[in-house]
């Protein structure tokens, strides 16, 4: 795997050496970031189920200022730390070994909000509705912020929060579907 664009373009990213992690292909990463940016003017991100950290690293390479990486696998945490250190992104990165829901609760207590949240979990063992509901209940996405979700084509997903609009949706190779939602800016109410 390699970084596709930005300040770390073409630099190698190590993969997690186990069968529990399914990396997002270069083709999908390229399409997602083409629609999401393709470059950022700063901002903060959250990479849940980070695996090797490839999605969050791509966002940093394309101009995001800060990224929090979350995964619950020790092998993934080691790999993310090695990758951000090797790419000299460690000063812009925080890496935590946590379950996704627990991490969201902690981030909520710390009153964090993000410009870009990346969700690429194990397809079959993830309760997407619970995860996304927590993100919305905790108001973790900033106005105009993006929420990227990768899931299997067999799963259906509908957001109850009408302040999010689909910006991009695509199915790849009959197994993977990606969706980018954008949180709408709140309407100013005048008197």
pLDDT at site 183: 94
The token pair at 2 is 């390699």
Average pLDDT over the chain, rounded to whole? 91
Q: Collect contacts of 17-23 with beta carbons under 8 A, ≥24 apart.
A: 17/75, 17/79, 18/73, 18/75, 20/73, 20/75, 20/122, 21/51, 21/52, 21/73, 21/75, 21/76, 22/51, 22/122, 22/123, 23/51, 23/52, 23/54
Read off the CATH number of the domain in which 83 is found.
3.40.50.150
For residues 173-186, give the mean pLDDT. 87
150 is in which domain, residue-wise?
26-183
Q: Would you say residue 144 lies in a domain?
A: yes
- Dihedral of CA atoms 18, 61, 120, 129 in degrees, nearest 10, equals 150
- Under the banding of pLDDT at 50, 70 and 90, the label for residue 160 is low
Q: Would you say residue 160 lies in a domain?
A: yes
Q: Per residue in 74-93, is it b (16+ CB within 10 Å) or e — as a string?
A: eebbebbeebbeebebeebb
Q: What is the pTM of this model?
A: 0.92
Q: Would you say residue 9 lies in a domain?
A: no
Q: Collect contacts of 121-125 with beta carbons under 8 A, ≥24 apart.
A: 121/48, 121/49, 121/150, 122/20, 122/22, 122/49, 123/22, 123/151, 123/152, 123/155, 124/152
- Under the banding of pLDDT at 50, 70 and 90, the label for residue 191 is very low
pLDDT at site 187: 63
Beta bridge partners of 171: 177
Tens of pLDDT, residue by residue over 54-111, are: 999 999 999 999 999 999 999 999 999 999 999 999 999 999 999 999 999 999 999 9
Q: Would you say residue 152 lies in a domain?
A: yes
Task: Please state the domain count of the chain.
Answer: 1
pLDDT at site 140: 98
Percent of the chain's residues with pLDDT above 90: 70
pLDDT at site 11: 97
Q: Is residue 149 scored above 90 in pLDDT?
A: yes
| Gap between the Cα atoms of 96 and 77, Å rounded | 7
Beta strand 141-152 pairing with 66-71: unpaired
Q: Would you say residue 54 lies in a domain?
A: yes
pLDDT at site 188: 52
- CA nearest to 62, candidates 48, 79, 76, 45: 45
Instruction: Write the DSSP symbol of residue 187.
Output: P
| Gap between the Cα atoms of 58 and 35, Å rounded | 13
pLDDT at site 189: 45
């Amino acid at each position: 795997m390699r970084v596709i664009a930005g300040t770390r373009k073409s630099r190698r990213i190590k993969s997690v050496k186990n069968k529990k992690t399914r990396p997002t292909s270069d083709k999908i990463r390229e399409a997602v970031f083409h629609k999401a940016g393709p470059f950022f003017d700063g901002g903060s991100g959250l990479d849940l189920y980070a695996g090797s950290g490839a999605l969050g690293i791509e966002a940093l390479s394309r101009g995001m200022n800060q990224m929090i990486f979350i995964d619950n696998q020790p092998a993934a945490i080691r790999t993310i730390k090695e990758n951000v250190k090797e790419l000299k992104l460690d000063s812009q990165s925080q890496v935590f070994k946590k379950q996704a829901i627990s991490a969201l609760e902690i981030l909520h207590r710390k009153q964090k909000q993000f410009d870009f949240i990346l969700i690429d979990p194990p397809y079959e063992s993830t309760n997407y509705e619970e995860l996304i509901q927590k993100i919305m209940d905790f108001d973790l996405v900033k106005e105009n912020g993006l929420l990227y979700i990768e899931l299997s084509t067999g799963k259906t997903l509908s957001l109850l929060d009408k302040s999010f609009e689909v910006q991009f949706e695509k199915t790849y190779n009959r197994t993977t579907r990606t969706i980018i939602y954008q949180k709408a800016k709140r309407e100013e109410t005048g008197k």
